[in-house]
Amino acid sequence: MRRLLSTLVILSLLLLCGCALPERKTAQRSAAASGELTVYLDIPDSLSRDISFVIKGIAIRTKDGREVEVITGELPLRSTSERGRQVRLGEGAVPPGEYVGLVIRYGGSRLHDLPRERDIPPGDPVWIEQRLDIYKNQNTTLFIRWLPDRSTVDERFVPAFEVQQRPPTLSRALLFVTNSGSGNLTVIDTNTMKVVETIKLGGSPTGLTLGVGENALRLYVVNTTLDSLSVINTSTLTVERTVPLRLGKAPLDVHAMVAGPDGELLFIANLNSNSLSVMETTNLREIGRISVGAGPSSITSDPLITDMVSSVYIPPEDFDLIERYQQRYLNLYVANRYSNTVSLIRINRFTGEPRYVLELDAGWEPVRLSPDPARARVYISAHGSERIGEIPVAELIRTGGRDVVNWISLGTGTVDVAPDSSFERLYVLRDEPPEVVVLRPDRVDEGAASDRLLPVMGRLPLPGTPADMVPDEEKNLLYVIDSSGDQVLVVDRITLNIMNRISVGRRPVRGILIPAVR
C-alpha cells in the first residue's frame, strides 16, 4: 500500500491605456498549435489606491482582427495585497504567427479607500497594443505593469496597464525551476526576485543539473513523460537541443560528473526502468545502462576534494584518504524510492567506466540525496522514515560500504536537506507537516547503527506542498519550491522569515541556482 501511495504521489506531481473595443471575432485554435504565451503582471510597491478587481480572460489579436483566447478563468487581484509583487496571470497554447496586441477582460471592481468603500463600475475591456511573435515549440513571455493610481476614470474603473521591457539577464544570478504541470522552465533573476523568461519544453520536465568543465554554461533537463533530455544555453536562455532517451523509461533525475575521456558524463535515473542511463555529452549519445534498485529518483556523487579544502570538520586522515581515492575514482549514489536503498556505483575518472558496488540501507522511501562538502557526507531524505540518513564518505571508502549509514531522528516527511557550514546548520525540508526545520549538526560521527537527536534551532511553517529547496549562500536565502502553490518561497535562512513569493508555472518540482559569476 505504501508503494502504491508513493506511486500516486509521483504521478500527481507529474500530471502538475484603456479604450473601447470593436465587436470581436474569435479565431479557431488549431489542434496542431504549439506556440505558448505566458503573461506576468507587476504591481508597484508605492501606491495610494486600494483597488480590487477580477481578471476574467486574456486574448491576443491577429493582424486581421481575430482574437485567440489565451487565458481563461477568473483571477482576483487587489493592489494592496499584491504591492511590490510579480503575479503570473497564466499561460496558454497559441498558434504560431504575428499578433498585434492584447485584450484584457475584467469585472468585479471595488474601491477600498476609506471612509467610502464601494463598488465601482468597470469600463470596457482594455486593449494593449504590442507586437507579439509566437513561434512553434517556443514560449513568449510578456511582462505588463498595473498602475492602480491611474486606474479610475470619471468614477469608472479602467485598469491602466503598460508593457515592460524585458531586462537583460547575462551575468546575473539565475534560478531555474522545472514546472511539471505546464511543461516549461521558469527563469528567475535572484537580484530582482522577478521572472525574466519562460522556456517551453513540453511534457513534464523534472530533474535538472548544470554541466561541468567546458560545459558549465549548459543546463540539462530530463522530461519524465517524453523520455527526453533538453540542453539549455544559460547565457541565451534557449533550448539548444532535445534528444530522446532510449535506454530507460520515465527519467526523473540527471547528474553531471567530471569523468571519462571527454571530460563529462551524464547519469540519468529512469524511474520505471530501475536503471541509470549513461550519456556522453560531446554528441549527446547514450553509451551505457546500469541496473539499480527499484524506482531510482535522485542521483548525486561524492563532494569533490577541492570543495573540502577549507573545511574545519574533516579529520586530516579522512581528508588524505578521500584525496587519494578521488585521484582515480568517484562514488555515484542513487536513491531507490521503492526498494528503500541507495545504490553505490564506483566511477573510474579516467575511463568513465562504472562498476556497481552494493546497496546501502536508506530507510523507507528515499527521495533525495544531498552532498555536504564541509563534512564529507551525503544525506538521505527518507520520506517515509522518522529519520535522515547520513553517509560518511571516508568511512565508506575505508570499510567498503558495509553498515556505514548513520541516522538522525526527526520525523516523517523529509523531502530535502541543505547543509550550511557558514552557520553550522542543517536545513531540513518536510512536507508532513510542511515546514523547514533547522538542526545543529554534530562535529563527529556517532556510530553507524545509532539513532541520534540533533538540537533543533528553529522551525518555519510553510504553505502548500514543499518539493525542493535551493540554498543561496551569497544572499543567505533559501528558495523553497511549493508544488501545489505554483510558487517559489524566498526564505531568509538566518531569521527564518518568508521574504517573498514568486509565481511560477504549474506544479513546480525542482530548482537549481546559477551564481552571477561562474
pTM comes to 0.90
Q: Hunting for cell 544559460 — which residue is that?
A: 234
- Does the pLDDT value for residue 19 go beyond 70? no
Q: Residues 94-115: what's their mean pLDDT?
A: 93
Q: What percent of the chain has pLDDT above 90?
A: 79
The domain boundary, picked from 163, 191, 210, lies at 163
Domain tally for the chain? 3
Claim to verify: residue 26 and residue 123 sit in the same structural domain: yes
- The Cα–Cα gap between 57 and 70 comes to 8
In a domain, 475, yes or no: no
- Does the pLDDT value for residue 176 go beyond 60? yes
In a domain, 516, yes or no: no
Residue 168 pLDDT level (bands cut at 50, 70, 90): low
Provide the pairing of β-strand 66-71 with 75-78.
Answer: unpaired
The domain boundary, picked from 254, 274, 290, lies at 290
Would you say 418 and 429 are in contact if contact means Cβ atoms under 8 Å apart? Answer: yes
- The Cα–Cα gap between 352 and 212 comes to 15
Would you say 272 and 342 are in contact if contact means Cβ atoms under 8 Å apart? Answer: no
In a domain, 125, yes or no: yes
Would you say 406 and 375 are in contact if contact means Cβ atoms under 8 Å apart? Answer: no
Claim to verify: residue 50 and residue 103 sit in the same structural domain: yes
The domain boundary, picked from 433, 461, 489, lies at 461
- Does the pLDDT value for residue 27 go beyond 60? no
Looking at per-residue confidence, does 94 or 24 come out higher?
A: 94
Helix, strand, coil share (%) of the chain residues, nearest 5: 10, 50, 40
What is the pLDDT at residue 113? Answer: 83
In a domain, 474, yes or no: no
Would you say 185 and 203 are in contact if contact means Cβ atoms under 8 Å apart? Answer: no
- The Cα–Cα gap between 41 and 82 comes to 10
Claim to verify: residue 407 and residue 441 sit in the same structural domain: yes
What is the pLDDT at residue 5? Answer: 42
Which CA distances in Å does 36 have to 70, 224, 416?
Answer: 9, 20, 32
Q: Hunting for cell 582515480 — which residue is that?
A: 328
Claim to verify: residue 265 and residue 322 sit in the same structural domain: no
What is the pLDDT at residue 170? Answer: 53
- Does the pLDDT value for residue 438 go beyond 60? yes
- The Cα–Cα gap between 29 and 135 comes to 15
**Host domain of residue 209:** 201-290
Claim to verify: residue 112 and residue 260 sit in the same structural domain: no
Residue 105 pLDDT level (bands cut at 50, 70, 90): very high
Claim to verify: residue 250 and residue 305 sit in the same structural domain: no
- Does the pLDDT value for residue 31 go beyond 60? no
Q: Residues 272-289: what's their mean pLDDT?
A: 95
- The Cα–Cα gap between 243 and 223 comes to 10
Looking at per-residue confidence, does 11 or 435 come out higher?
A: 435
Q: Hunting for cell 556510530 — which residue is that?
A: 447
In a domain, 482, yes or no: no
Query: In the numeric block, which cell numbers belong to residue 188?
Result: 528567475
In a domain, 468, yes or no: no
Would you say 270 and 290 are in contact if contact means Cβ atoms under 8 Å apart? Answer: no
- The Cα–Cα gap between 309 and 166 comes to 41
Would you say 161 and 147 are in contact if contact means Cβ atoms under 8 Å apart? Answer: yes
3-state secondary structure of 167: coil
Claim to verify: residue 249 and residue 345 sit in the same structural domain: no
Distance of CA 503 to the CA centre of its chain: 12
What is the pLDDT at residue 12? Answer: 46
In a domain, 96, yes or no: yes
Model pLDDT for residues 232-259, shown as the tens digit of each residue: 999 899 999 999 999 999 999 999 998 8
Would you say 509 and 206 are in contact if contact means Cβ atoms under 8 Å apart? Answer: yes
- Does the pLDDT value for residue 36 go beyond 50? yes
Claim to verify: residue 284 and residue 297 sit in the same structural domain: no
- The Cα–Cα gap between 344 and 359 comes to 6
What is the pLDDT at residue 516? Answer: 67
Phi and psi (nearest 5°) for 388?
-115, 135
Claim to verify: residue 229 and residue 247 sit in the same structural domain: yes
What is the per-residue burial (b if ≥16 Cβ within 10 Å, else e) of 1-27? eeeeebeebbeebbebebeeeeeeeeb
Claim to verify: residue 319 and residue 382 sit in the same structural domain: yes
What is the pLDDT at residue 262? Answer: 76
- Does the pLDDT value for residue 447 go beyond 90? no
Q: Which amino acid appears at position 51 of this protein? A: I
Q: Which amino acid appears at position 239 of this protein? A: V
- Does the pLDDT value for residue 358 go beyond 80? yes
Q: Residues 97-112: what's their mean pLDDT?
A: 95
- The Cα–Cα gap between 518 and 516 comes to 7
- Number of residues that make up the chain: 518
362: DSSP letter: -
Claim to verify: residue 325 and residue 402 sit in the same structural domain: yes
In a domain, 513, yes or no: no
Claim to verify: residue 54 and residue 97 sit in the same structural domain: yes
What is the pLDDT at residue 223? Answer: 97
Would you say 223 and 229 are in contact if contact means Cβ atoms under 8 Å apart? Answer: yes
Model pLDDT for residues 52-83, shown as the tens digit of each residue: 999 999 999 999 999 999 999 999 999 999 99
Q: Residues 293-311: what's their mean pLDDT?
A: 94
- Does the pLDDT value for residue 312 go beyond 50? yes
Written in H, E and C, the secondary structure of 307-338 is HCCCCCCCCHHHHHHHHHHHCCEEEEEEEECC
